[in-house]
Each structure stands twice: as structure tokens, then as C-alpha cells.
Amino acid sequence: MPHIHILLCTKNGGSYIRAQLQSIHAQTHRDWTLWISDDGSTDDTLACVNRFIVAHPDRDIRLVTGPGQGCAQNFMTLLARPELTRAWVAFADQDDVWMPHKLARAVDMIWRGTGAQIYASRSIYTDAALNPIGMSPDYQRPFGFGNALVQNILRGNTIVLPPDVTEFLADTLPFALDAGIPFHDWWVYQTVTGAGFDVIHDAKPGVLYRQHDNNLLGSNRTHAGHRAAILLRAVFAGWIDRNLRVLSDLSPVLTGQSRRVLFDFIDWRAQPASDWRAAPQSIGVYRQTLGGDFALRVLARLGKL
């Protein structure tokens, strides 16, 4: 079984991190290293982490200082460490709880697949006390570059990367770090599908995904108002702007089909907002539902995309 580097980024997660650390320790896949990058916690997060390190001297658990520039930059700076060249990597959030099978199932499904693939899974949504309140969507449309341009559906807290994908992402990190991309998992989804890697999205949940007031986004249901405000204030459009700048720079390493979709989408967005643009599906850009596709056209009409 492969050795997996678990990358956990923290900031003021003292209320929840104990449960996450214990769930990592309880994994049935036992061959792992845990690297924790703290982005300036002022609560008892560091004390919790240090107690966990002391309690498990047989484990390679490292605590480093993050860049202090937000969650995405913290994860990407950690992934950029040279020791992770061609490593198996799993991302972890401070406030979740992993199910015991998470790592073992990810490795098994990647090895059973053909070609280079990345793994992600559904999650069980819980409240702050870990009481289940729902489940993440079981997406039916393909996981592809045209979807990744306008929708972030690979939950970073479920992602596992095999060595070929880690090596590829490491080469693109300078571009992403320089552009200040908004979400590390969205960048992963866009970049790997653009380069032709496949996505395994496991219908079996592997994570208890805690919903609370400090989630950056959270589930559609529990944070619907926040998400709507992001769309209407054109924050979403700003995120897409940054993503497209990076993808344009990386276009030489994208597949020919992905380059076509990328530049067609850039041209589509450049059309005047007063024009009712052609459906985004006509250029291979889509969200996971018909309602989502319609929302793209409405946002374009309002000049918010």
C-alpha cells in the first residue's frame, strides 16, 4: 500500500480539530504522514495539534507555519514543498471527520481504474455537533473541464491525488500562487480535467462535512443566501477572472479540446452583457443541472459573469 501524505491546513479550528485528528489516526490505511500548516491561529488550535503530536510519537506529524494569505494559498504552499514530488497526497480540512475507510477506499479505486485519475467522494453533511442533516449531491453529468470552468464540485476535503497527478499539479503551482486563485480544490478540478486526467467521484461518502457559521462556502442548502449574494455581487465573476488568467497561461499543457473550450468561453464572456448570449452548453460549458445552466445565462445577461 502506498505512503500517503495528508495535508491539513488550520486556522482557529480548536473547536473541531480534535475529532478530525482522531479520525485520521483511526484510518484503516495505516501508512500515512500528516503535515499541518497553520495560518496564524489565535485560539487553542496549536495546543491541540501539539498534544496530538506528543501522544503519537511513532507517527511522522509535522507542524509548519502557513503563508497567512488564506486557505487556498495555505494548501498550495504546502503542496509546493519539494518533499512531495511524486507523492500520494490527500487534502484534509480542520473541521471535518473522516470515516475509517476514506484513504483505503480512495487508493483501491484509483488502482482499479485505468490511466491517471484523481479521487473525490460524496460527503455526509452534519451540523456543528456532527448530527447528520443531509448528503452532498450525486452528480449525474460528466466531471469535465467544461463543467470545471463554472462550477467547483470536487470537495477538497475528499480529494486524494496519486503521484502522476501530484507531479503535474506541482509544475502548475507557481502560476496559481502568483494569480491568487480563490479555491485550491477548484484549481485542482480545472487543471487536471483540462490536462486530460480522469476524475473518480465515489458515490459512497467518506467524510462527515461539518456545517457551521465559519464555513467558507458550505453546502448549497445551508449556505444558500451566502451563495446568492456572491453571485449577485459579481464575486463569482471575479473568481472566474482569476481562474481564466491562470488557465490561459497554462493553455500549452491543456488538451486540444480543453483549449478550444477555454478560449471559446473567454470569447463568450467578452460579448456585451446586453446581448442574450448563446447557451453555454453550445461551447461545451455547463453546470450539473439545467437550472444551473439557466443561471449562467441570467448572470451573463446581468453582467455578473
Q: 4-10 and 88-93 as β-strands: parallel, antiparallel, unpaired?
A: parallel
Q: What is the mean pLDDT of residues 157-176?
A: 95
Q: What is the mean pLDDT of residues 274-299?
A: 83
d(CA 258, CA 278): 19
**What local confidence, expressed as pLDDT, does residue 273 receive?**
65
Residue 28: is its pLDDT beyond 80? Answer: yes
DSSP type of residue 305: -
Residue 63: is its pLDDT beyond 90? Answer: yes
Contacts of 264 (CB under 8 A, 6+ apart): 283, 284, 285
* pLDDT tens sequence across 132-149: 999 999 999 999 999 999
pTM: 0.91
Mean pLDDT rounded to a whole number for the chain? 90
Residue 282 C-alpha cell reads as 453550445
Residue 301: is its pLDDT beyond 90? Answer: no
**What local confidence, expressed as pLDDT, does residue 114 receive?**
72
Closest CA to 5 of 81, 98, 100: 81
**What local confidence, expressed as pLDDT, does residue 223 receive?**
46
**What local confidence, expressed as pLDDT, does residue 240 receive?**
93
Residue 253: is its pLDDT beyond 50? Answer: yes
Contacts of 239 (CB under 8 A, 6+ apart): 182, 183, 186
Q: How many residues does the chain have?
A: 305
d(CA 48, CA 42): 12
- Phi first, then psi, for residue 15 (nearest 5°) are -70, -25
Q: What is the mean pLDDT of residues 45-55?
A: 97
d(CA 85, CA 74): 17
Residue 124: is its pLDDT beyond 60? Answer: yes
Closest CA to 150 of 38, 239, 247: 239
Residue 291 C-alpha cell reads as 437550472
Q: What is the mean pLDDT of residues 79-91?
A: 94
Sign (positive or negative) of CA dihedral 205, 76, 72, 290: negative
**What local confidence, expressed as pLDDT, does residue 212 receive?**
75
Contacts of 36 (CB under 8 A, 6+ apart): 8, 9, 10, 49, 61, 62, 63, 64
Residue with more model confidence, 152 or 221:
152
Residue 244: is its pLDDT beyond 60? Answer: yes
Residue with more model confidence, 227 or 256:
256
Q: How confident is the model at residue 97 (pLDDT cuts 50, 70, 90)?
A: very high
Which H or E element spans position 189?
A: helix 184-194
